[in-house]
Structure 1
Amino acid sequence: MRRVIVACIRLYQVCVSPFLPRSCRFYPTCSEYAIQAVARYGVVRGLLLAAYRILRCNPFSPGGYDPVK
């Protein structure tokens, strides 16, 4: 299941993301963070962490370096 989720995120990075303006305020990017979180914590917890990260990625957030912990 992890491979399927990671493949979907990679597909987004290659096919969708290049056509959108760069808007991620964090490093690593939210999609890369999602891949790392799924690899480290599994599908359910990894996707929850990624969803929380995406919610924090907004114009009111200072952003910055935010690795998967």
Structure 2
Amino acid sequence: MLKRIIKSVFSVFFLFLIWIYQNLISPILGKSCRFTPTCSHYGIEAIKKHGPFKGAWLTIKRIGRCHPWGGHGHDPVP
């Protein structure tokens, strides 16, 4: 029971951080993601599919690959 509550709290927290990025930061910086789905949408899907901890880790790895010398194209959540 406590484990489920902790996971829910962290999921809401991470999803809120993504919401802040999408609605406050991204409009200022403009589009820069090289992948589809975008890194923020990838993060939402990863957290919903794998939970807050593995989802956050997958998202961090994805953001690390999203740079001018990295890959591009379709990269779905595993």
| Matching residue of 1:14 | 23
Instruction: Tell me the CA shift for residue 12 of structure 1.
Output: 1.3
| Matching residue of 2:74 | 65
| Greater Cα radius of gyration, structure 1 or 2 | 2
| Matching residue of 2:45 | 36
CA contact (8 A) 2:48 2:55 kept: yes
Structure-1 separation of matches of 2:68 and 2:61 = 15
Question: Which runs of structure 1 show a deviation greater than 4 angstroms over 4 or more consecutive aligned residues?
Answer: none
Q: Which runs of 5+ in 1 are unaligned?
A: none
TM-score by length of 2: 0.82
What is the aligned length? 69
TM-score by length of 1: 0.91
CA RMSD, Structure 1 to Structure 2 (Å): 1.0
Q: Which runs of 5+ in 2 are unaligned?
A: 1-8
